[in-house]
Structure 1
Amino acid sequence: MGEIRNCPRCGEFFNYNGVRDICGKCAMAEEEQYEIVYRFLRRRENRAATVERIVEATGVEEDLLHKWVRKGRLQPALFPNLGYPCDQCGHLTTTGKLCSSCQDELKGELRKFEAGQEFREAVKKAEKGTYLSDKR
């Protein structure tokens, strides 16, 4: 059984079942906007349109375009200038939550951290070493 929620777009109550995060009326309006965008992008001259150009030509909100790219409804393989903002820096990305440069930066920081941790462990082991005394 679903739970009752308020639609974040219109404020109406709806039965949330885990599939849609908005009410049925807003979902239908969103689907109509998707059709407008998709018809616009299907034209050969518009396939390389940027997010800003699509917003300007169709009147659809930028957040909706990002949502559709995230969900895979608009595929960057077919429309190369589409993407959604990186959670860290805001540059457009097409996979995951971080762009490739932020991923590389994060991986580098993790490598540094792991190397530092290995060094600290090696120092601890060296300090715990057995000391022999020459007392007889």
Structure 2
Amino acid sequence: MDLLNCPNCGKIYVNHSVRDVCDECYRKEEADYEQVYRFLRKRENRAATIETIAHTTGVKEDLLYKWVRKGRLHAAQFPNLGYPCERCGKLIKEGKLCEPCSTGLKEELTRFEKEKERHEELSKVVYYSQDQRKK
């Protein structure tokens, strides 16, 4: 167990590795979650976007993204929910990167590896001066 500062309010709390905020902020988050879930249970609200939910309920978008990322709000049940790609910000439903960013990173890594191999091959070339060859 570690002592940490709550990222929301700054209070010191004991980290039990289950919660990422202090008890007081956790209770507030749970109350907000119940409010959001009640909103989403209504059939007419199931297609709501994060922005709509935040505006209607007053719950911060970052907290909604956190719940979608952790799977508390299932994107499969609520089709317009997602969270931002860590690279470009496009809304995604799983992982950390959207498909174009993931593909782009893979391509960049492949190019980097090829450059690294090329550089290693070039560094293996040994040049001798004339004086060394005569000895």
* TM-score after normalising by structure 2: 0.81
Partner of 1:88, secondary structure, is coil
2:52 aligned residue: 53
1:74 aligned residue: 73
Between the aligned partners of 2:119 and 2:20, the Cα distance in structure 1 is: 47
Between the aligned partners of 1:114 and 1:73, the Cα distance in structure 2 is: 39
Percent same amino acid among aligned pairs? 56
The structure-2 alpha-carbon separation of the partners of 1:45 and 1:118, relative to structure 1 and needing over 3 Å to count, comes to: same
Task: Spell out the pairing of 1:1-136 with structure 2 (5 A cutoff).
Answer: 2-117=1-116
Between the aligned partners of 2:76 and 2:25, the Cα distance in structure 1 is: 28
Between the aligned partners of 1:25 and 1:61, the Cα distance in structure 2 is: 17
Partner of 2:67, secondary structure, is helix
Between the aligned partners of 1:5 and 1:107, the Cα distance in structure 2 is: 36
Between the aligned partners of 1:110 and 1:62, the Cα distance in structure 2 is: 33
Aligned partner letter, 1:69: V
Between the aligned partners of 1:118 and 1:10, the Cα distance in structure 2 is: 49
Question: Displacement of 1:113 after TM fit?
Answer: 3.2
* TM-score after normalising by structure 1: 0.80
Between the aligned partners of 1:75 and 1:8, the Cα distance in structure 2 is: 24
Question: Displacement of 1:70 after TM fit?
Answer: 1.0
Partner of 2:9, secondary structure, is coil
Between the aligned partners of 2:9 and 2:110, the Cα distance in structure 1 is: 46
Stretches of structure 1 lacking an aligned partner (at least 5 in a row): 129-136
Give the length in aligned residue pairs: 126
The structure-2 alpha-carbon separation of the partners of 1:115 and 1:7, relative to structure 1 and needing over 3 Å to count, comes to: closer
Partner of 1:52, secondary structure, is helix
Question: Displacement of 1:122 after TM fit?
Answer: 7.0
Deviates more, 1:104-113 or 1:33-42: 104-113
